[in-house]
Amino acid sequence: MPPPSFDQAKSGDLHRLGWYFMKASQGVRMDNFGNYLTIKQAKNFLSERINSKVSKLNLLEMAARGDIRLCAWFDGIVAEFKRHYPDPIRAGVFQVKLKCYVRIPEHAISPISNTFSFESIEPVEVIHPYETYRAPKEYQLPNNQPLPGVEPDHFWAAYSGNAGTGEKIKCVKYEINSTEAVTPKEDLLNLIEKNKNTGQSEPQVTKSENIKPWLEPDPKDPKPAQDWYTPARYFARQLVREDSTLLIKRKLLAQKVAQSLSNVNIYKRGKKLPLSYTTILKSFSNVSLG
């Protein structure tokens, strides 16, 4: 069975492609995993050292601000090059593959999201700088010559395409689940040390001015089925406090909540269109709003 083409690859194929081509080299990852902490481990690590509770929300807020790095393990193909050279050794299809921890861009991090989507990667720790990939049979070079390895510097230089060399490049879109995200332990230690040097008794992680009240779930609410349920319920309660008649005007309430969500840049998964009132009504199920 041939590997999936990049035309067929979908958002979220990060692990599928990595598994297919590399069988996910868990041994390599685990040898280095002591330097990285999961979100749960990181918040416990900070909480113990500053004697103050740090939540997942706090940690993601710090990552979104750039105070710490949020990373993910990558083991697979990041790009496919189609080169059009007269020389057959330089022409053909090349696929670039990395084994490394990659940094999740700050713009892709939302404290209320359980997934982070982005289209470019930034190596944080490269386990293997580069490797040669044996392309499918139809892409083999004459006399079964090996495809040349692509070093990181060359890869980054050509990432956006190079019309002068006739290269056509396709890149994968990544979708990382928050349970797979990690942060370098050194970032947490540096954060604590930085605050010591500035005379602060502890890192300002629990009282950040960037934390929005609508991101804090009400402990009485059922577990949200979607990331936006928590802010939707928050805004619904705020609106009901201002106008109690909205409790029986559910459609109007949901429409107003949709506007409130748009005002704080919370949209559908594509992050462009506002949520419909019929969708928002689902977040009110089994919830006391007033």
Q: What average pLDDT does this structure show over 211-221?
A: 79
Tell which residue, 49, 100, 44, 42, has the closest CA to residue 67. Answer: 42
CA angle 275, 278, 282 (to 5 degrees): 95
Containing 141, the helix (H) or strand (E) segment is none
By mean pLDDT, which of 11-25, 55-69, 247-261 is the weakest?
Answer: 11-25
The pLDDT of residue 153 is above 60: no
CA 4 centroid distance within chain: 23
pLDDT of residue 85: 60
Q: What sign does the dihedral 144-145-150-155 (CA atoms) show?
A: negative
Upper half-sphere CA count for residue 280 (Cβ side, 13 Å): 26
Q: Would you list the domain boundaries of the chain?
A: 14-191, 213-284
| Cα dihedral 149, 154, 155, 160 in deg (nearest 10) | -140
Q: Is the separation of the CB atoms in 15 and 24 below 8 Å?
A: yes
pLDDT recorded at residue 252:
92
What mean pLDDT comes out for the span 25-40?
60
Instruction: Please report, for residues 12, 132, 233, 272, the alpha-carbon distance to residue 269 in angstroms, rounded to integers and kept in the order given.
Output: 13, 36, 18, 8
What gap in Å lies between CA 3 and CA 6, rounded to an integer? 9
What number of CA atoms fall less than 13 Å from residue 77's CA on the CB side?
Answer: 25
As a whole number of angstroms, the distance between CA 202 and CA 194 comes to 10
CA 171 – CA 6 distance, rounded (Å):
8
- Arithmetic mean of pLDDT, 11-37: 42
pTM for this one? 0.54
Is the predicted pLDDT of residue 166 greater than 70, yes or no? no
Q: For all residues of the chain together, what is the average pLDDT?
A: 68
Residue 147 has pLDDT above 70, yes or no: no
Do 165 and 51 meet the contact criterion of CB atoms below 8 Å apart?
Answer: no
Over 80: is that where the pLDDT of 219 sits?
yes
Give the mean model confidence (pLDDT) for residues 124-134: 50
**pLDDT band (50, 70, 90) for residue 213:** confident
Least confident of 66-75, 114-123, 165-174, 271-280: 165-174
Measured distance between the N- and C-terminal CA atoms of the chain, rounded to whole angstroms:
57
Q: Which distant-in-sequence residues (6+ apart) come within 8 Å of 162 by Cβ?
A: none
